[in-house]
Chains A and B, each alone.
Chain A
Amino acid sequence: MTTTASAARRAKRLLRWYPRSWRTRYGDEFAELLTAEFSEHPRSWRRTANIAWSGIYARLTTGGLTGHALEPSDQVRASLASLGGALAVFLVFGTAMWAQLTIGWQWAEPNTLGTSAAMITMSAVLLLFAVLAVLAVAPLAWTLLAPIGRRPGNGLGRPTILFCCGVAVLIVGARHFGNGWPGTGGHHWIHQGLVPGGVAAFVWAMTLSISSYWAHPAALLSFPAAEVAWMVLSPLAIVGVAVGATKVVRRLDMSPRVLRYEGRLGAVAASAMGAYLVASCCWIVDGGSGPRNLFHAGAIDIVGLVLMTAAAVIAGRTAHGARRAGLGFRLP
């Protein structure tokens, strides 16, 4: 009896490798198989490794990241959700990099063509991302508010609240901490930057957590407590926004036309990520020269670039998956 209970507990633990949707469909029968396997071969690291790998693979499949064909609308939704996650990582590090540079430009112009061109390109691509966000959110919000999207039991309430709370925290917090930056307080260089000082300070405050100060705790302790608290809290808000948005995309009952439209926007976003990466590389290769070392590229920028490249690769793959599955729809 104890052995059976122990085997059931072990099977349940191993099942955690798999995503919830997979467990719902195959969980019971898979647990039965594992229990039978345990009685025959009680311990096997190969079996554990096989289950762990299969579970991770099932999670990637659910995210539209493998070649395993899902039903077209599920595939588009899964791909768009993964694209949203990758885009969130990309934008967090990308905007942190951009905010650092554009704040530098508030003080002095870069004195090399490479850094200037990189910053102008990055600013233009960020503007494109903002336009794409509006274009992407509009039909989603419309579907969410329409009766078909609000169908009871589709679990949209919590992720929508999570998304809205995360956005509210980021806006209020970034405005508060951005106001502490001297560029917004009427200093006489405010109009010489590439973008208005308020925008630069807002983005800087929003991405304050992306900082090399984490590696220097002594320096971090000299910061005001509220600022350190914001550096801890703001990533949670960003995660809340990303998780809320991806869950809404996965659960929202979108029409084939909307799915296809979102798939096209995803492809444009993935291309824009490529352009942004090229511009970021131009700045780093240029050496980040400039007056008073304002445009210096540090280790955290290299780490950010690596993570952004990984996010862009995932986004490119998922955008391709979303677009390919979207083409399978027969529109009315």
Chain B
Amino acid sequence: MPGPSSSNPQGKATPPAAGIGTFGRYAGPATLILSSLAEGEKHGYALTKDIESFAGVRLAPGTLYEALSRLEGQGLIEALESHDRRRPYRLTSVGATALKEHLATQRRVADEGLRRLSGRWGLA
């Protein structure tokens, strides 16, 4: 597992990593991208197809790259060297930790919502 990224490909210092919750309307796409990269490195089109297969959502190209740019800027993912025009991305350990925390929060919310539905509405 690669170590936490502290610089972007241009060699500039990056701002300190923030939680996915701070990504605003890109929090959803960011979660999907990190979840996809948790399986292994992927380039843009492979990310689109993988996310479509496991989440049923097709990220539009502009949204995908805006989220990738933010994730890279925060050091949650890193771009790898490539010999062709398709550049693969890889999850960093900071990104893995951020994803785990974010998914754990989402699971708590989901569990609580299901528990309340089950108790009051009889839906499980």
Measuring CB to CB, which residues of chain A are less than 8 angstroms from any residue of chain B? 22, 25-26, 28-34, 36-37, 46-47, 50-55, 57-58, 67-72, 74
Contact = CB atoms under 8 A, between A and B. Distances in A.
B115 interface: no
Nearest to B74: A69
Interface string B6-31: 00011011110000000010000000
Contact of A55 (B10, B62, B68, B85): B62
Interface stretch (B41-49, B92-100, B105-113, B116-124): B41-49
Given A71-B12, A71-B15, A33 B62 contact: no
Contacts of A26: 65, 68-69
Contacts of A34: 61
Contacts of A37: 45, 48, 61
Interface in B22-76: 24, 43-45, 48, 60-66, 68-70, 73
Given A25-B10, A68-B70, 12 more contacts: A29-B44, A30-B44, A31-B85, A32-B45, A32-B85, A33-B64, A34-B61, A37-B45, A47-B61, A52-B62, A53-B62, A54-B66
A29 B86 contact: yes
Contacts of B60: 46-47, 50-51
Chain B interface extent, by class: 20 to 34
Contacts of A30: 44, 61, 65
Contacts of B85: 28-29, 31-32
A29 B61 contact: no
B73 A69 contact: yes
B61 A50 contact: yes
Contacts, number: 71
A33 B87 contact: no
B63 A50 contact: yes
Contacts of B48: 33, 37
Nearest to A56: B62
Nearest to A29: B87
A97 B14 CA distance: 44
A34 B65 CA distance: 11
Please indicate which of the listed interface residues A34, A37, A46, A54 has the most CB atoms of chain B within 10 Å of its own CB: A54
Contacts of B63: 50, 54
A53 B25 CA distance: 14
A27 to B, nearest CB: 9
Nearest to A53: B62
Contact of B86 (A22, A32, A58): A32
A71 B24 contact: no
B13 A71 contact: yes
Contacts of B61: 30, 33-34, 37, 47, 50-51, 54
Nearest to A44: B60
A31 B70 CA distance: 19
A69 B15 contact: yes
A105 B74 CA distance: 56
A28 B14 CA distance: 23
Nearest to A57: B66
A80 to B, nearest CB: 18
Contacts of B62: 50-55
A154 to B, nearest CB: 15
